[in-house]
Amino acid sequence: MSVREYSLCNSSTRIAGVAHIVDEGTFDPREYADELAAAPGNLEVGTRLHFQNDHLKVWEIRLRPGERCPFHAHTRNYFWTVVDAGTGRQRAPDGTLAVRRYKVGDTMYLENSADDPMIHDLENVGETVLRFVTVELLG
């Protein structure tokens, strides 16, 4: 399995709304070496799985200020929608990072596969709970 270079600063297909980038930068991936090594096998793309059937998985991502989801792999097509607005920092394996301000209703669709996964983390760097619903399409 190869890991796709995913620039967090490029836009993807947007369904509704816009998550505004408020800062961009870099970090040292060596600080997360163990987590990044395990990331291709970490398919938990949310903090809680609410529903699953043969066609989809519905995840919630709920992060209090300062909380972080570890690096994980998106191996399926999926979309997310912001339920509670906030500010999040995402890091990518290539050492890039983006801080985005998310508004309620911001929605994005992304295409991924097991052969071409997208790996990233998500940290709440705001002052309020940040919450998304993410739906993975299984088939």
Cα separation, 87 vs 123, whole angstroms: 9
Residue 12 confidence class, pLDDT cut points 50, 70, 90:
very low
Better-predicted residue by pLDDT, 19 or 2: 19
Q: Is the pLDDT of residue 5 over 60?
A: no
Average pLDDT of span 49-61: 98
pTM, full prediction = 0.86
Section 28-57 average pLDDT: 97
* Mean pLDDT rounded to a whole number for the chain: 90
Residues 6+ apart with CB under 8 A from 138: 54, 55, 56, 57, 76
Phi-psi region of 95 (alpha: psi -120 to 50; beta: other; left: phi over 0): left
The domain ranges of the chain are 14-137
Phi and psi at 114, nearest 5°, equal -65, -30
Q: What pLDDT shows up at residue 11?
A: 39
Q: How high is the pLDDT of residue 4?
A: 37
Q: Which top CATH class is 14-137?
A: mainly beta
| Confidence band, pLDDT 50/70/90 cuts, at residue 116 | very high
